[in-house]
Structure 1
Amino acid sequence: MSEYILTNKQGRVGVITLNRPEVLNAWHSEMRQQLIGALEGFSSDDSLGAIVLTGAGERAFSAGQDLNETRAFDAERAERWVGEWEALYDKLRSSPKPIIAALNGVAAGSAFQVALLCDFRIAHGDVRMGQPEINSGIASTTGPWIMREHLGLARTIDLTLSGRLMTADESYSLGLINRLVAAEQVLPEALALGEELAAKPPIAMRLDRQRFKEITEPGFRDCLEAGIRIQGESYASGEPARMMEAFLQRRSG
């Protein structure tokens, strides 16, 4: 089986690396399942007190969804796809341990959402983040909910409808990036923060994360219900397949 996810332990910190650098760590169904398994393993490991999530290579944390997978979806498969994201996002939200995103490059679309579901984000000055899904014909459902929790409605509308990527400076000014460091310091800084958090009282840490999940749970459930309805309608129209095919042809050309 291909290792789309790599794991290792450094002190009391578990490191998960997204490992498809040839496609900017874009994920497909099998990769998401491996990521869920890695999060489960580290979340239940009593020797660890924190988790760092990063990407392989120097170009991307993750480009988000692999369009080579979704361009073949029909309405029924698109609805099941929402369930796959529910499983991953719920695993991120339910971990008793703090999760730090070490952003080594671009975080786009669902990868931007995953980064925002982490508790901290460490990045360098060339990192770009945003929600470009509209450019490939994908309607956003979970993204607007996650962004609104961090940014409010006006900026959420901006990022969702424009599909633009923010610079690291803009993301830092908005509080989305907690620490901006040199590129070679992103992972060491994330590991140092992980050790600092791992030293905190574990029950209080678990209960604090649990409470953050509780207060955002109604919005999470609403966006998932909307996702089934909206993605079903979207993919039934055929527009996502047409737009993704055109996008992939432009990129290959």
Structure 2
Amino acid sequence: MIGGIEVEALFRKRIGLPEDEPVTFEKLDEILEKTARTIPFENMRIMNQETFDITNESLIDKMLARNEGGLCYELNGLLYLFLLENGFDVTLVRGDVFNNEIGEWTKLGRTHVAIILHHEGQDYIVDTGFGGNLPLKPVPMKGEVVTSSNGQFKVEASENEYGDYVLMLKLADKDKDWRIGHVIDSKKPVTNLSEFNEIQKVLIENERSPFNKGPILMKFTDNGTVSLTDKTLTRWIDGKQHKENITETAFKEYVKNIFGIIY
């Protein structure tokens, strides 16, 4: 029970996990896949200037009662509450994302949020808020490579100004070589969700933010991903890209019909 609101039952209902199914470490792969397919990565409230203060209750209301999605701090914030309620040893951490197109960090400060999960003497990065770059599995922080339907992922120790562990990835059907995803700072855990309000403010106001330029929505599907902007609908199906230009009317319909979000 979080702040008088039971996240457990609502989260299970949202992702389609049976009420009586135990949530074990071995079950996390399935839970992460179900989450990626049902709770979209999206910035509609930022674009509509309808953001709110980040609290346990507001995250639960937004994504479990109103069936919206969110950005990294919201998606991983919600998953953290669910894992915590199921007895996992988890910590929220912050870091920065690497822009591979220009070969540098976003320089928005520590605005990416992920989870460190501690299990049987090992630490893992768990992340359901990284758009189409999700590992869909816990990734060990000792360098082992994990493989999912979305590609290969590993975590390497790498000190820089934004953190000390880097998520490396090689997406299926997209990347030939390893590339940097994001860095997290394991030495500065999030101690209060109020920190997410600082992140949200940066993403709303900073000119370098990719989330205040136009709507972005994406989620995983049974055979790939689907992403939407106000100009294009892009589907990756069995490793092949299908992209089409769309109208403003079509955009609004897709937001509702594909992503289930009503504004």
TM-score using structure 1 length: 0.33
**Greater share of helix residues, 1 or 2?**
1
Structure with the bigger RCO (C-alpha within 8 Å, sep 6+) is: 1
TM-score using structure 2 length: 0.32
**Greater share of strand residues, 1 or 2?**
2
